[in-house]
Structure 1
Amino acid sequence: DKTYVVQTSRKVIQRCMLMTTDPGDLVLDITCGSGTTAYVAEEWGRRWITCDTSRVAITLAKQRLMNATFDFYELTNPSEGVSSGFKYKTVPHITLKSITNNPEIREGMTKEEIEASLRKYALVETLYDRPFTDTSKIRVSGPFTVEAVPSPVVKSIDNMVPGEINNEVNRENIYPQIEPDYSIVRTGETLRQAEWREELLKTGIRAKNGQKIEFSSVEPLPGTQFLHAIAETKEYPHQRVVISFGYEYAPLEKTQILLAISEAKQLVPKVEAIVFAAFEFDPEAARNIDEINSKKLRLLKVQINGDLLTEDLKKKRATNESFWLLGQPDVKLERFVEVTDKEMYRVEVLGFDYYNTKTGKIDSGGKAKIAMWLLDTDYNGSCLFPRQVFFPMGGYRDGLDKLVKSIRAEIDEDWFAVYRSTVSRPFLLGKYRRVAVKIVDDRGLESLKVIRIN
């Protein structure tokens, strides 16, 4: 049964793999989709590396591999592992030439004697798709890791000591000292921004519970470097909003946010809100937006649909919603009292705080719509490493019973209920003394909350 729209048949992948590789070889699949190549490689004893830009595809592939069971094939040399190959079934390859040149065939032989003689002198063919199977054993997927390319982190100009780099590469003062130029941070409008403005005017910004921010006009904003458009909302009372777009292939960073806010405060007449629209937000940038928010100037995080980057490659868009309003995670960190000498902590997710487009205020979204949340108890500032993962919307009948049947084991349902909680397990702080919580809501939108512990 297909679990992915472009899922390839296992038989096709299997035939290609058996013709071109041996057990223990490495197989690379650049766009994994539902993970058929990795599944077949695991089944036939090949090592594999696979990747995809879609987190949906990665999740499907991971789930498929974790739930899979395979036949246990007999090894040629068990002490050498899978690289020694499997024991395969063989059949005689009888040709007209082998019959003609057979020295034992003579007149008067029985049918059984002729067949035995033909098998004796015939060539032997190995059936590489039919290894011997040990039916007393069953095999599951071997250990594998799921890794992500971390977002690039660029050192802010504000954190550089004037002349620091110059003194390092210009020890003899051949070149004059130069001051940092903020124009390198952002170079104004990109070619894509005209398309994004048109799309924003056409679709608006999708908010929670069917709410929407619609605009009567979205125009370029001249004279500014970090604010790229100015818009007016349709709903009365009309509000003036400025938009700052992120990069096409990099996360929106903290420096752009601070400089965009500075430019917005100098505009006359005043604006009511700044919309930061990006495909991805740097964790520190997202934290800044949440912390700087004030009643006088509302800061909104908006995620741009990735389809806008690949629109020229697709016949049809996956959805008509191009801009989604992101919520702010409501997270509480508390000390956990335990009879030990070590200081333990615990995180509780209270829900999402959403911007209400009708009242202009922040409403609490509660815990009901949290599909998944991940906890990194020692966040390094660049790459989230989930040390605890929870699925609050998951139930016993939402896949657990299938998992039990697949691995043929008994699972304590009370213990498994811990992973449907909104309260983490107690943990010790790491060397970075930072905790990161990523929350994914029922729409699939992600938000990150970083908490520093002094």
Structure 2
Amino acid sequence: MSREQIDAAIKRHADFETLYDRPYEDKKKVRVAGPFTVESLSPHRSLAFGGEQETRGETEAAKDADAPSFEQSILDNLTAAGIQNGRRKERIRFASFETYAGQYIQAVGERATDEEDEAPSRIGVAIGPQYGTVSASFIKNAAREANRDGAIDLLAILGFAYDPQVTGVTEDDGITVETTDEGFANVASVRKLGRVPVLMVRMNVDLLMGEALKKTGAGNLFTVFGEPDIEVATTDDDRVVVDLRGVDVYDPTTGEVRSNDTGHIALWMIDTNYNEESFFVRDCYFTGDNDPYRRLKTALKADIDPDAWASLNATTSRPFAKPTTGKIAVKVINDYGDEVMKVFEVQ
């Protein structure tokens, strides 16, 4: 409010005057979104100081010595919920857990299987940081630890978020990447170090509630989101085009990877000039079966440009200029809200 408006309010001798939160309403406009917040784990880390300062987790644990540790709380929920890929019948169920005295692996679970099930029966569990992202080096070191054990059949890396470099862990890092020709696209399979397959599992942020979260096993607390199959090409006029071909889906019940189409992808975004520090959404595309945003188009009516919308409801991006940073980043989000990001070098 201006000074004159404040003076006028005082002159009216009002007992109470609201000077804020009085928006102007325009009934002709269509509201397409309500209030929302954006939360994210920081991709940055702080190097440890020489004095080994106490972490936030250690401070919280010191307040209640009888409270279960973060790792134990995760294992308790993992026992109740298991690991799934979004499909009801495709889930890894655990019969029991035993502690593991490793630097990266906290426990080894005995899988509850049927007689005809040939999937891995002993699964190592490596839990990522409580407040941070899982790095590529963490995965490589945990995989080497599982390989040295000799009795672990599958390694599950649990994390709330993963560094973009994780999807770039390939043969150059000593990890083999198998492929499958099922479906219409060749997609990356389960990563391995030696003989041990490595499965990346995304934890639901609800697990940060600790003991306040009921262990019913009903929620999607631990899910596997397959790696997207993406092709980056250059046009004749030296511009870049990104093509999203599909997503591989890991079946926890059989240990196999199959190739799926883009029907279960809600949206995908491109940072056309990725600087390795922040992801800026410069291009955004909405996919999914049966045109999921049909109701939004109906509500907006004449405000929608059909040609412009057709270019957004696509799995092939519009051409864009080559990045000055030499890199682009592509982030894919499925119907369950799980996301994965891949970084590509573009010369």
TM-score range, shorter chain: 0.7 to 0.9
**Amino acid aligned to 2:296:** G
* TM-align CA RMSD: 4.1
Cα deviation per residue 1:402-432 (whole Å; 9 max; x = unaligned)?
234xxxx543212212111111111112222
Determine which structure has greater relative contact order: mean sequence separation of CA pairs < 8 Å that are 6+ residues apart, divided by chain length. 2
Cα distance in structure 1, aligned partners of 2:5 and 2:138: 58
Equivalent in the alignment of 1:402: 299
5 Å matches for 1:355-366?
355-366=250-261
Whether the 8 Å CA contact 2:127–2:158 is kept in 1: the answer is yes
Distance across 2 between alignment mates of 1:430 and 1:85 = 51
- Paired residues for 1:157-168 under 5 Å: none
Q: Give the TM-score normalised by the residue count of structure 2.
A: 0.73
SS state at 2:279 partner: coil
Looking at structure 2, the residues matched to 134 and 440 of structure 1 have their Cα atoms a distance apart, in angstroms, of 35
Listed as ranges, the matches of 1:63-78 within 5 Å are none
- Residue 166 (structure 2) aligns with: 285
Q: Find the counterpart in structure 2 of residue 120 from structure 1.
A: none
Letter in 2 for 1:327: G
Q: Partner of 1:423: helix, strand, or coil?
A: coil
**Highest Rg: 1 or 2?**
1
Given that residues 206 and 213 in structure 1 are in contact (C-alpha distance below 8 angstroms), is that contact kept between their aligned partners in structure 2?
Answer: yes
1:273 is aligned to 154
After superposition, give the CA deviation of every residue in 1:47-79 in whole Å (9 maximum; x if it has no partner): xxxxxxxxxxxxxxxxxxxxxxxxxxxxxxxxx
Given the alignment, which residue of 429, 433, 446 partners 2:339?
A: 446
Q: Secondary structure of the equivalent of 1:427? A: coil
User: Following superposition of structure 1 onto structure 2, how do residues 198-347 of structure 1 map, counting pairs within 5 Å?
Assistant: 198-210=76-88, 211-222=90-101, 224-235=102-113, 236-237=117-118, 238-269=120-151, 271-288=152-169, 292=175, 293-294=191-192, 296-313=195-212, 320-338=219-237, 343-347=238-242
Contact 2:41-2:132 within 8 A present in 1 as well = no
Q: Per-residue deviation at 1:124?
A: 8.2
Change (3 A) 1:344 1:147: farther
How has the CA–CA distance of structure 1 residues 329 and 88 changed in structure 2, closer, same or farther, with 3 Å as cutoff? Answer: farther
Percent identity, aligned pairs only, is: 26
Q: 1:435 to 1:319 in 2, by over 3 A?
A: farther
3-state SS of the aligned residue for 1:448? strand
Unaligned runs of 5+ in 2: 32-36, 51-57, 59-67, 176-190
The runs of 5 or more residues in structure 1 that have no matched partner are 1-22, 24-82, 94-122, 158-164, 167-186
Count, aligned residues? 301
TM-score (norm 1): 0.57
Taking the aligned partners of 2:169 and 2:82, their CA distance within structure 1 comes to 24
The structure where helix makes up a greater share of residues is: 1
Which residue identity lines up with residue 199 of structure 1 in the other structure?
N
Amino acid at match of 1:202: A
Measured against aligned partners, the alpha-carbon deviations of 1:290-309 in whole angstroms (never above 9, x if no partner) come to: 98313832111111121111
Compared CA separation, residues 383 and 334, structure 1 to 2 (3 A)? same
Amino acid corresponding to residue 276 of structure 1 in structure 2: I
Q: Which residue of 371, 378, 384 corresponds with 2:279?
A: 384
Provide closer, same or farther for how the CA distance between residues 232 and 401 of structure 1 changes in structure 2, counting only shifts above 3 A. Answer: same
CA gap 1:415/1:196 in 2 versus in 1, 3 angstroms: same
Matched-pair contact (CA < 8 Å) for 2:71–2:127: yes
Question: Equivalences for 1:142-181 in 2 at 5 Å?
Answer: 151-154=42-45
Aligned-pair CA distance for 1:281: 1.1
Q: 1:147 to 1:126 in 2, by over 3 A?
A: closer
